[in-house]
Structure 1
Amino acid sequence: MDLRRADNLRMTGKLAVIAVGMFAFGYALVPIYRAICEATGINVLALGERNLPGKVRTDPVNTQVDTSRTITVEFDTNVRGPWHFKPAVRSMEVHPGELATVMYEFQNVQNRTMAAQAIPSYAPRQAANHFTKLECFCFNQYTLAPGEKREWPVAFIIDPKLPKDVKTITLSYTFFEVGAPTPPAPTAGGPQGLLGGGRPS
Protein backbone atom coordinates (compact mmCIF):
# COMPACT_ATOMS: atom_id res chain seq x y z
CA MET A 1 0.00 0.00 0.00
CA ASP A 2 2.79 2.44 0.89
CA LEU A 3 4.57 1.61 -2.38
CA ARG A 4 1.39 2.36 -4.36
CA ARG A 5 0.88 5.62 -2.47
CA ALA A 6 4.46 6.65 -3.23
CA ASP A 7 3.93 5.89 -6.94
CA ASN A 8 0.77 7.98 -6.93
CA LEU A 9 2.58 10.88 -5.31
CA ARG A 10 5.37 10.71 -7.86
CA MET A 11 2.84 10.61 -10.70
CA THR A 12 0.95 13.56 -9.23
CA GLY A 13 4.19 15.51 -8.96
CA LYS A 14 5.08 14.78 -12.58
CA LEU A 15 1.62 15.85 -13.77
CA ALA A 16 1.89 19.04 -11.72
CA VAL A 17 5.26 19.83 -13.30
CA ILE A 18 3.84 19.19 -16.79
CA ALA A 19 0.83 21.40 -16.08
CA VAL A 20 3.05 24.25 -14.83
CA GLY A 21 5.31 23.84 -17.86
CA MET A 22 2.39 23.98 -20.27
CA PHE A 23 1.02 27.10 -18.58
CA ALA A 24 4.42 28.80 -18.74
CA PHE A 25 4.83 27.87 -22.41
CA GLY A 26 1.40 29.24 -23.28
CA TYR A 27 2.09 32.45 -21.37
CA ALA A 28 5.42 32.95 -23.18
CA LEU A 29 4.07 31.99 -26.61
CA VAL A 30 2.70 35.46 -27.49
CA PRO A 31 5.93 37.42 -26.86
CA ILE A 32 7.92 34.66 -28.57
CA TYR A 33 5.61 34.87 -31.60
CA ARG A 34 5.93 38.65 -31.76
CA ALA A 35 9.71 38.45 -31.49
CA ILE A 36 9.85 35.96 -34.37
CA CYS A 37 7.49 38.07 -36.50
CA GLU A 38 9.49 41.23 -35.89
CA ALA A 39 12.75 39.45 -36.71
CA THR A 40 11.44 37.91 -39.94
CA GLY A 41 9.13 40.73 -41.02
CA ILE A 42 6.24 38.31 -41.57
CA ASN A 43 3.72 40.14 -39.41
CA VAL A 44 3.37 43.68 -40.76
CA LEU A 45 1.15 44.70 -37.86
CA ALA A 46 3.84 43.70 -35.34
CA LEU A 47 6.38 45.78 -37.24
CA GLY A 48 4.03 48.75 -37.18
CA GLU A 49 3.41 48.39 -33.45
CA ARG A 50 7.12 48.27 -32.64
CA ASN A 51 7.59 52.02 -33.08
CA LEU A 52 4.38 53.13 -31.40
CA PRO A 53 4.90 54.78 -28.00
CA GLY A 54 3.16 52.82 -25.28
CA LYS A 55 2.13 50.30 -27.95
CA VAL A 56 -1.05 52.24 -28.67
CA ARG A 57 -2.69 50.61 -31.69
CA THR A 58 -3.93 52.83 -34.50
CA ASP A 59 -5.44 52.18 -37.91
CA PRO A 60 -2.94 51.61 -40.73
CA VAL A 61 -1.95 54.81 -42.51
CA ASN A 62 -2.15 54.95 -46.30
CA THR A 63 1.26 56.34 -47.19
CA GLN A 64 0.17 56.75 -50.83
CA VAL A 65 -2.09 59.73 -50.01
CA ASP A 66 -0.55 63.06 -51.00
CA THR A 67 -1.96 65.37 -48.34
CA SER A 68 0.02 68.29 -49.75
CA ARG A 69 -2.34 68.50 -52.75
CA THR A 70 -6.10 68.87 -53.06
CA ILE A 71 -7.99 68.10 -56.26
CA THR A 72 -11.51 69.37 -56.89
CA VAL A 73 -13.63 66.71 -58.62
CA GLU A 74 -16.76 67.98 -60.36
CA PHE A 75 -19.62 65.64 -61.31
CA ASP A 76 -21.54 66.30 -64.52
CA THR A 77 -24.49 64.26 -65.84
CA ASN A 78 -26.15 63.96 -69.25
CA VAL A 79 -29.25 61.97 -70.19
CA ARG A 80 -30.44 60.41 -73.44
CA GLY A 81 -34.00 59.47 -72.58
CA PRO A 82 -36.83 60.43 -70.19
CA TRP A 83 -35.36 59.66 -66.78
CA HIS A 84 -33.70 61.41 -63.88
CA PHE A 85 -29.99 61.00 -63.31
CA LYS A 86 -27.97 63.08 -60.84
CA PRO A 87 -25.07 62.91 -58.36
CA ALA A 88 -25.63 63.38 -54.63
CA VAL A 89 -23.10 66.24 -54.67
CA ARG A 90 -21.89 68.44 -57.50
CA SER A 91 -18.25 68.42 -56.41
CA MET A 92 -15.85 67.27 -53.71
CA GLU A 93 -12.25 67.85 -52.76
CA VAL A 94 -9.91 64.87 -52.45
CA HIS A 95 -6.21 64.23 -51.97
CA PRO A 96 -4.38 62.20 -54.64
CA GLY A 97 -4.20 58.59 -53.49
CA GLU A 98 -7.27 58.98 -51.25
CA LEU A 99 -10.27 56.67 -51.71
CA ALA A 100 -13.43 58.71 -52.31
CA THR A 101 -17.05 57.76 -52.99
CA VAL A 102 -19.94 59.65 -54.55
CA MET A 103 -23.51 58.39 -54.89
CA TYR A 104 -25.62 58.73 -58.03
CA GLU A 105 -29.41 58.57 -58.21
CA PHE A 106 -31.34 57.07 -61.13
CA GLN A 107 -35.07 57.01 -61.74
CA ASN A 108 -37.00 55.63 -64.70
CA VAL A 109 -39.87 58.07 -65.15
CA GLN A 110 -41.29 56.19 -68.13
CA ASN A 111 -44.32 53.90 -68.03
CA ARG A 112 -42.25 51.00 -69.38
CA THR A 113 -39.25 48.95 -68.30
CA MET A 114 -35.94 50.04 -69.76
CA ALA A 115 -32.33 48.86 -69.86
CA ALA A 116 -29.66 51.53 -69.63
CA GLN A 117 -25.93 52.10 -69.32
CA ALA A 118 -23.60 55.02 -68.68
CA ILE A 119 -20.53 56.23 -70.56
CA PRO A 120 -17.90 58.24 -68.62
CA SER A 121 -15.54 60.93 -69.83
CA TYR A 122 -13.02 63.23 -68.15
CA ALA A 123 -11.78 66.77 -68.42
CA PRO A 124 -9.00 67.54 -68.88
CA ARG A 125 -8.46 64.46 -71.04
CA GLN A 126 -5.07 63.73 -69.47
CA ALA A 127 -6.88 63.07 -66.18
CA ALA A 128 -8.39 59.87 -67.59
CA ASN A 129 -5.09 58.03 -67.19
CA HIS A 130 -4.91 59.03 -63.52
CA PHE A 131 -8.55 58.47 -62.51
CA THR A 132 -9.11 54.91 -61.28
CA LYS A 133 -12.68 53.74 -60.56
CA LEU A 134 -12.82 50.81 -58.13
CA GLU A 135 -16.62 50.61 -58.25
CA CYS A 136 -18.91 52.18 -60.81
CA PHE A 137 -22.39 51.68 -62.26
CA CYS A 138 -20.81 52.29 -65.67
CA PHE A 139 -19.29 48.81 -65.53
CA ASN A 140 -22.68 47.17 -66.18
CA GLN A 141 -26.06 47.55 -67.84
CA TYR A 142 -29.12 47.92 -65.61
CA THR A 143 -32.83 47.29 -66.03
CA LEU A 144 -35.26 49.62 -64.28
CA ALA A 145 -38.99 49.06 -63.94
CA PRO A 146 -41.45 51.93 -64.57
CA GLY A 147 -40.94 54.56 -61.85
CA GLU A 148 -38.12 52.58 -60.23
CA LYS A 149 -35.50 54.64 -58.41
CA ARG A 150 -32.05 53.31 -57.53
CA GLU A 151 -28.78 54.61 -56.11
CA TRP A 152 -25.29 53.44 -57.00
CA PRO A 153 -21.85 54.48 -55.77
CA VAL A 154 -18.76 55.47 -57.68
CA ALA A 155 -15.60 54.74 -55.68
CA PHE A 156 -12.45 56.23 -57.14
CA ILE A 157 -8.81 57.13 -56.49
CA ILE A 158 -6.79 59.83 -58.23
CA ASP A 159 -3.23 58.75 -58.95
CA PRO A 160 -0.66 60.87 -57.08
CA LYS A 161 1.26 61.01 -60.39
CA LEU A 162 -1.41 63.34 -61.77
CA PRO A 163 0.40 66.38 -63.25
CA LYS A 164 0.85 69.17 -60.72
CA ASP A 165 -0.90 71.74 -62.90
CA VAL A 166 -4.19 69.78 -62.82
CA LYS A 167 -6.22 71.06 -59.89
CA THR A 168 -9.76 70.31 -61.12
CA ILE A 169 -11.16 67.18 -62.77
CA THR A 170 -14.65 66.92 -64.23
CA LEU A 171 -16.15 63.43 -64.33
CA SER A 172 -19.04 63.39 -66.79
CA TYR A 173 -21.52 60.57 -67.49
CA THR A 174 -24.02 60.10 -70.29
CA PHE A 175 -26.84 57.73 -69.28
CA PHE A 176 -28.56 56.20 -72.32
CA GLU A 177 -31.04 53.45 -73.12
CA VAL A 178 -29.53 50.17 -74.30
CA GLY A 179 -30.67 49.40 -77.84
CA ALA A 180 -30.80 53.05 -78.83
CA PRO A 181 -27.92 54.54 -80.84
CA THR A 182 -24.87 54.80 -78.59
CA PRO A 183 -24.16 58.49 -77.98
CA PRO A 184 -20.65 59.91 -78.27
CA ALA A 185 -18.69 60.36 -75.06
CA PRO A 186 -19.93 63.48 -73.28
CA THR A 187 -17.99 66.70 -73.32
CA ALA A 188 -17.54 67.52 -69.65
CA GLY A 189 -19.05 70.85 -68.78
CA GLY A 190 -20.60 71.11 -72.25
CA PRO A 191 -23.93 72.71 -73.01
CA GLN A 192 -25.76 69.40 -72.63
CA GLY A 193 -24.42 68.75 -69.15
CA LEU A 194 -27.24 68.53 -66.62
CA LEU A 195 -25.63 69.09 -63.26
CA GLY A 196 -28.16 68.02 -60.69
CA GLY A 197 -29.96 65.73 -63.15
CA GLY A 198 -33.38 66.11 -64.74
CA ARG A 199 -35.24 65.46 -67.94
CA PRO A 200 -33.53 66.10 -71.24
CA SER A 201 -34.62 69.04 -73.32
Structure 2
Amino acid sequence: MSADLGPAETKRRKRRSVWELALLTVAMFGFGFAMVPLYNALCELTGLNGRDKGMQIVASVQEQPDLNREVTVQFLTVVNGGREWVFKPAVSEMKVHPGQLYTVNFVAENQLDQDVVGQAVPAVTPGKAARHLKKTECFCFNQQPFKAREAKDMPVRFMLDPELPADVHTVTLSYTFFDVTELAQRSAKPNG
Protein backbone atom coordinates (compact mmCIF):
# COMPACT_ATOMS: atom_id res chain seq x y z
CA MET A 1 0.00 0.00 0.00
CA SER A 2 2.92 2.37 0.67
CA ALA A 3 3.90 2.02 -2.98
CA ASP A 4 0.68 3.92 -3.82
CA LEU A 5 1.70 6.91 -1.67
CA GLY A 6 3.45 9.82 -3.25
CA PRO A 7 6.68 11.28 -1.84
CA ALA A 8 4.82 14.20 -0.22
CA GLU A 9 2.40 11.87 1.63
CA THR A 10 5.24 9.60 2.77
CA LYS A 11 7.17 12.62 4.09
CA ARG A 12 4.06 13.91 5.91
CA ARG A 13 3.48 10.51 7.56
CA LYS A 14 7.12 10.25 8.66
CA ARG A 15 6.97 13.76 10.15
CA ARG A 16 3.76 12.85 11.99
CA SER A 17 5.34 9.63 13.33
CA VAL A 18 8.35 11.58 14.59
CA TRP A 19 6.06 14.04 16.40
CA GLU A 20 3.99 11.21 17.89
CA LEU A 21 7.15 9.47 19.15
CA ALA A 22 8.48 12.75 20.58
CA LEU A 23 5.16 13.38 22.36
CA LEU A 24 5.12 9.81 23.68
CA THR A 25 8.70 10.22 24.96
CA VAL A 26 7.83 13.47 26.78
CA ALA A 27 4.69 11.88 28.26
CA MET A 28 6.66 8.83 29.47
CA PHE A 29 9.34 11.06 31.03
CA GLY A 30 6.67 13.17 32.74
CA PHE A 31 4.91 10.08 34.07
CA GLY A 32 8.19 8.64 35.38
CA PHE A 33 9.06 11.95 37.03
CA ALA A 34 5.62 12.14 38.68
CA MET A 35 5.61 8.54 40.00
CA VAL A 36 7.35 9.25 43.34
CA PRO A 37 5.13 12.19 44.34
CA LEU A 38 2.05 10.30 43.15
CA TYR A 39 3.06 7.21 45.14
CA ASN A 40 3.74 9.27 48.26
CA ALA A 41 0.39 11.05 47.91
CA LEU A 42 -1.38 7.71 47.49
CA CYS A 43 0.37 6.28 50.56
CA GLU A 44 -0.57 9.31 52.66
CA LEU A 45 -4.17 9.22 51.45
CA THR A 46 -4.72 5.49 51.96
CA GLY A 47 -2.18 4.67 54.68
CA LEU A 48 -0.63 2.19 52.23
CA ASN A 49 2.77 0.85 53.25
CA GLY A 50 2.40 2.31 56.74
CA ARG A 51 3.17 5.80 55.48
CA ASP A 52 0.62 7.81 57.32
CA LYS A 53 1.30 11.33 58.47
CA GLY A 54 -1.01 10.48 61.37
CA MET A 55 1.75 8.46 63.07
CA GLN A 56 2.21 10.52 66.20
CA ILE A 57 5.37 11.61 67.93
CA VAL A 58 4.45 12.92 71.35
CA ALA A 59 6.37 14.22 74.37
CA SER A 60 4.17 12.32 76.80
CA VAL A 61 0.98 10.28 76.85
CA GLN A 62 -1.84 9.92 79.33
CA GLU A 63 -2.10 6.21 80.10
CA GLN A 64 -5.59 4.74 80.28
CA PRO A 65 -5.13 1.04 79.52
CA ASP A 66 -7.97 -0.99 78.11
CA LEU A 67 -7.33 -4.18 80.09
CA ASN A 68 -10.16 -5.95 78.26
CA ARG A 69 -8.32 -5.79 74.96
CA GLU A 70 -4.98 -7.23 73.87
CA VAL A 71 -3.18 -6.52 70.60
CA THR A 72 -0.08 -8.29 69.31
CA VAL A 73 2.68 -5.93 68.20
CA GLN A 74 5.31 -7.49 65.94
CA PHE A 75 8.75 -5.97 65.41
CA LEU A 76 10.68 -6.42 62.16
CA THR A 77 14.03 -5.03 61.04
CA VAL A 78 15.92 -4.78 57.76
CA VAL A 79 19.36 -3.43 56.98
CA ASN A 80 19.23 -1.69 53.62
CA GLY A 81 21.96 -2.51 51.13
CA GLY A 82 23.34 -5.57 52.91
CA ARG A 83 25.64 -3.54 55.16
CA GLU A 84 27.71 -5.36 57.77
CA TRP A 85 25.48 -4.40 60.69
CA VAL A 86 23.48 -6.31 63.22
CA PHE A 87 20.03 -4.80 63.66
CA LYS A 88 17.27 -6.67 65.46
CA PRO A 89 14.56 -6.26 68.07
CA ALA A 90 15.20 -7.66 71.55
CA VAL A 91 11.80 -9.40 71.23
CA SER A 92 10.03 -10.28 68.01
CA GLU A 93 6.55 -9.53 69.38
CA MET A 94 4.67 -8.55 72.50
CA LYS A 95 1.09 -8.45 73.69
CA VAL A 96 -0.05 -4.95 74.64
CA HIS A 97 -3.14 -3.26 76.01
CA PRO A 98 -4.19 -0.17 74.05
CA GLY A 99 -3.75 2.92 76.19
CA GLN A 100 -0.69 1.58 78.05
CA LEU A 101 2.90 2.74 77.47
CA TYR A 102 5.50 0.09 76.57
CA THR A 103 9.24 0.02 75.89
CA VAL A 104 10.96 -2.33 73.47
CA ASN A 105 14.71 -2.33 72.79
CA PHE A 106 16.43 -2.82 69.49
CA VAL A 107 20.04 -3.94 69.21
CA ALA A 108 22.31 -2.46 66.57
CA GLU A 109 25.98 -3.19 66.02
CA ASN A 110 28.43 -1.75 63.52
CA GLN A 111 30.56 -4.69 62.43
CA LEU A 112 32.87 -2.52 60.33
CA ASP A 113 36.31 -1.23 61.29
CA GLN A 114 35.20 2.33 60.57
CA ASP A 115 32.71 4.80 62.04
CA VAL A 116 29.28 4.89 60.42
CA VAL A 117 26.01 6.76 60.81
CA GLY A 118 22.67 5.01 60.46
CA GLN A 119 19.08 6.21 60.18
CA ALA A 120 16.04 4.02 60.71
CA VAL A 121 12.83 4.59 58.78
CA PRO A 122 9.67 3.15 60.36
CA ALA A 123 6.62 1.63 58.72
CA VAL A 124 3.41 0.38 60.31
CA THR A 125 0.96 -2.21 59.04
CA PRO A 126 -1.91 -2.29 58.71
CA GLY A 127 -1.83 1.29 57.48
CA LYS A 128 -4.94 2.27 59.44
CA ALA A 129 -3.07 1.46 62.66
CA ALA A 130 -0.33 4.04 61.98
CA ARG A 131 -2.39 7.00 63.21
CA HIS A 132 -3.07 5.12 66.46
CA LEU A 133 0.61 4.51 67.26
CA LYS A 134 2.09 7.13 69.56
CA LYS A 135 5.83 7.23 70.20
CA THR A 136 7.43 9.19 73.02
CA GLU A 137 10.96 7.95 72.30
CA CYS A 138 12.48 6.29 69.25
CA PHE A 139 15.95 5.87 67.80
CA CYS A 140 14.31 6.60 64.44
CA PHE A 141 13.86 10.27 65.41
CA ASN A 142 17.58 10.96 64.84
CA GLN A 143 20.62 9.74 62.99
CA GLN A 144 22.59 7.19 65.01
CA PRO A 145 26.40 7.49 64.97
CA PHE A 146 28.37 4.29 65.62
CA LYS A 147 32.08 3.98 66.29
CA ALA A 148 33.91 1.08 64.65
CA ARG A 149 32.63 -2.21 66.13
CA GLU A 150 30.25 -0.37 68.51
CA ALA A 151 26.98 -1.96 69.66
CA LYS A 152 24.00 -0.11 71.12
CA ASP A 153 20.67 -0.85 72.74
CA MET A 154 18.14 1.57 71.29
CA PRO A 155 14.72 1.95 72.95
CA VAL A 156 11.32 2.68 71.47
CA ARG A 157 8.60 3.86 73.87
CA PHE A 158 5.16 3.56 72.35
CA MET A 159 1.48 3.27 73.03
CA LEU A 160 -1.40 2.12 70.88
CA ASP A 161 -4.28 4.55 71.16
CA PRO A 162 -7.42 3.00 72.69
CA GLU A 163 -9.25 4.26 69.57
CA LEU A 164 -7.40 1.63 67.48
CA PRO A 165 -10.12 -0.02 65.34
CA ALA A 166 -11.54 -3.13 67.00
CA ASP A 167 -10.81 -5.29 63.93
CA VAL A 168 -7.05 -4.72 64.32
CA HIS A 169 -5.59 -7.59 66.33
CA THR A 170 -1.99 -7.42 65.12
CA VAL A 171 0.16 -4.36 64.40
CA THR A 172 3.57 -4.71 62.76
CA LEU A 173 6.18 -2.05 63.43
CA SER A 174 9.11 -2.41 61.07
CA TYR A 175 12.31 -0.43 60.69
CA THR A 176 14.66 -0.26 57.74
CA PHE A 177 18.13 0.88 58.72
CA PHE A 178 20.00 2.95 56.13
CA ASP A 179 23.67 3.93 55.97
CA VAL A 180 23.63 7.75 55.95
CA THR A 181 27.32 8.25 56.73
CA GLU A 182 28.03 10.31 53.59
CA LEU A 183 24.94 12.45 54.10
CA ALA A 184 25.90 13.10 57.74
CA GLN A 185 29.45 14.03 56.72
CA ARG A 186 28.19 16.43 54.03
CA SER A 187 25.77 18.14 56.39
CA ALA A 188 28.47 18.45 59.07
CA LYS A 189 30.83 20.33 56.72
CA PRO A 190 30.56 24.12 56.95
CA ASN A 191 29.39 25.86 53.79
CA GLY A 192 32.16 27.83 52.31
Can you list the C-alpha shifts for 1:158-198, whole angstroms capped at 9, x where unaligned? 000000000000000001111579xxxxxxxxxxxxxxxxx
Structure 2: how far apart are the matches of 1:168 and 1:74? 7
Indicate whether 1:131 and 2:133 are aligned: yes
> Residues 114, 124 of structure 1: CA spacing in aligned structure 2 closer, same or farther, 3 A cutoff?
same
Structure 2: how far apart are the matches of 1:84 and 1:177? 13
TM-score, with structure 1 as normaliser: 0.57
Structure 2: how far apart are the matches of 1:138 and 1:155? 11
Between structure 1 and structure 2, the one with the greater Rg is 1
Mind listing any 5+ residue stretches in structure 1 that lack a counterpart? 1-61, 182-201
Identity %: 47
Count of residues paired in the alignment: 120
Can you list the C-alpha shifts for 1:1-23, whole angstroms capped at 9, x where unaligned? xxxxxxxxxxxxxxxxxxxxxxx
Contact 2:116 2:181 in 1 (8 A): no
* Ranges of 4+ aligned residues in structure 1 off by more than 4 Å: none
Aligned to 1:114: 116
TM-score, with structure 2 as normaliser: 0.60
Structure 2: how far apart are the matches of 1:116 and 1:67? 37
Mind listing any 5+ residue stretches in structure 2 that lack a counterpart? 1-61, 184-192
Structure 1: how far apart are the matches of 2:63 and 2:141? 29
Structure 2: how far apart are the matches of 1:78 and 1:136? 16
Indicate whether 1:92 and 2:120 are aligned: no
Structure 2: how far apart are the matches of 1:88 and 1:156? 15
Aligned to 2:106: 104
Aligned to 1:75: 75
Structure number with higher helix proportion: 2
Aligned to 2:65: 65
Structure 1: how far apart are the matches of 2:63 and 2:142? 32
Residue 96 of structure 1, CA deviation: 0.3
